Chain A
Amino acid sequence: MFREGKRVSDPRPGPRYGPSRNRRRVDDPLRRPRGEWLRDLLAEAGADCLDDAGVDADAVDHLYVSNMASGELEGQTGAPNMLAHDLAAQPAYTARIDQTSSSGGAGIYAAWQSVASEASEMTLLVGGEKMTHKTTGEATDVIASLTHPVEYKHGVTLPSFAGLTARLYLDEYDAPRESLGKVAVKNHRNGVDNPKAQFRKAVDLETVLDSPIVADPLRLYDFCPITDGSAALLFCPESVARELTDEYVVVSGVAGATDTHVVHERADPTTMRGVVESSDQAYAMADRDPKISTSRSSTTCSRSSSSCSSRTSASPRRARAGRRSRKAVPNATATCRSTLPAA
Chain B
Amino acid sequence: MTDQNDDTASEEPELTAYRYSDGSITYPGHPRGPDGKEPVGTVDLSEYTAEVVTWTTSTATPPGVRQPNHLAIVEFDVDGRPVRALGQLEDGNVAIGDTVEPVHVDELRDPEVGIREPASQSWDGFRFRPVE
Interface positions of A (Cβ within 8 A of B): 72, 136-138, 140-142, 144-145, 148-157, 159-160, 163-165, 167-168, 171, 212-218, 262-265, 269, 341-343
Quote the shortest CB–CB distance from A281 to chain B (angstroms).
22
Known A151-B86, A155-B65, A263-B73; 12 more pairs at CB < 8 Å: A154-B69, A154-B71, A154-B108, A155-B64, A155-B71, A160-B69, A165-B54, A167-B96, A168-B54, A168-B96, A171-B96, A264-B53
Closest to B84 in A: A264
In whole angstroms, how far apart are the Cα atoms of A70 and B129 in the complex? 39
Inter-chain contacts of A269 with B (CB < 8 A) = 53-54, 73
Q: Do A155 and B62 touch across chains, with their CB atoms under 8 A apart?
A: yes
Q: Do A138 and B73 touch across chains, with their CB atoms under 8 A apart?
A: no
Task: Give chain B's interface residue range (CB within 8 Å of chain A).
Answer: 35 or more
Q: Do A141 and B71 touch across chains, with their CB atoms under 8 A apart?
A: no
Q: Do B60 and A155 touch across chains, with their CB atoms under 8 A apart?
A: no
Q: Do B62 and A154 touch across chains, with their CB atoms under 8 A apart?
A: no
Quote the shortest CB–CB distance from A78 to chain B (angstroms).
20
Q: Do B61 and A154 touch across chains, with their CB atoms under 8 A apart?
A: no
Q: Do A164 and B88 touch across chains, with their CB atoms under 8 A apart?
A: no
Q: Do B120 and A163 touch across chains, with their CB atoms under 8 A apart?
A: no
30 contacting pairs across A/B (C-beta < 8 A)? A137-B61, A137-B62, A141-B115, A149-B116, A149-B122, A150-B27, A153-B125, A154-B69, A155-B58, A156-B86, A157-B58, A159-B58, A159-B60, A160-B69, A164-B54, A164-B55, A164-B71, A164-B73, A167-B54, A167-B96, A212-B59, A213-B59, A215-B58, A215-B60, A216-B56, A216-B58, A218-B56, A262-B28, A264-B84, A342-B59
In whole angstroms, how far apart are the Cα atoms of A324 and B71 in the complex? 46
Contact flags B74-90 to A (C-beta < 8 A → 1, else 0): 00000000001111100
In whole angstroms, how far apart are the Cα atoms of A192 and B28 in the complex? 45
Inter-chain contacts of A264 with B (CB < 8 A) = 53, 73, 84-86
Quote the shortest CB–CB distance from A146 to chain B (angstroms).
11
Closest to B58 in A: A160
Q: A145, A155, A263, A343: which has the most chain B beta carbons within 10 Å?
A: A155
Q: Do A152 and B56 touch across chains, with their CB atoms under 8 A apart?
A: no
Q: Do A137 and B63 touch across chains, with their CB atoms under 8 A apart?
A: yes
Closest to B63 in A: A137
Inter-chain contacts of A262 with B (CB < 8 A) = 28
Interface positions of B (Cβ within 8 A of A): 26-28, 53-66, 69, 71-73, 84-88, 92, 96, 108-109, 111, 114-116, 120-123, 125
In whole angstroms, how far apart are the Cα atoms of A168 and B54 in the complex? 6
Beyond A154-B71, A164-B73, whether A342 also contacts B86 by CB under 8 A is no
Closest to B114 in A: A141
Inter-chain contacts of B123 with A (CB < 8 A) = 153
Inter-chain contacts of B88 with A (CB < 8 A) = 154-155
Inter-chain contacts of A213 with B (CB < 8 A) = 57, 59
Q: Which of B28, B109, B115 contacts A148 (CB 8 A)?
A: B28
Closest 6 CB pairs of A and B: A155-B65, A163-B56, A141-B62, A168-B54, A149-B121, A160-B58
Closest to B125 in A: A153
Inter-chain contacts of B60 with A (CB < 8 A) = 136-137, 140, 157, 159, 214-215, 341-343
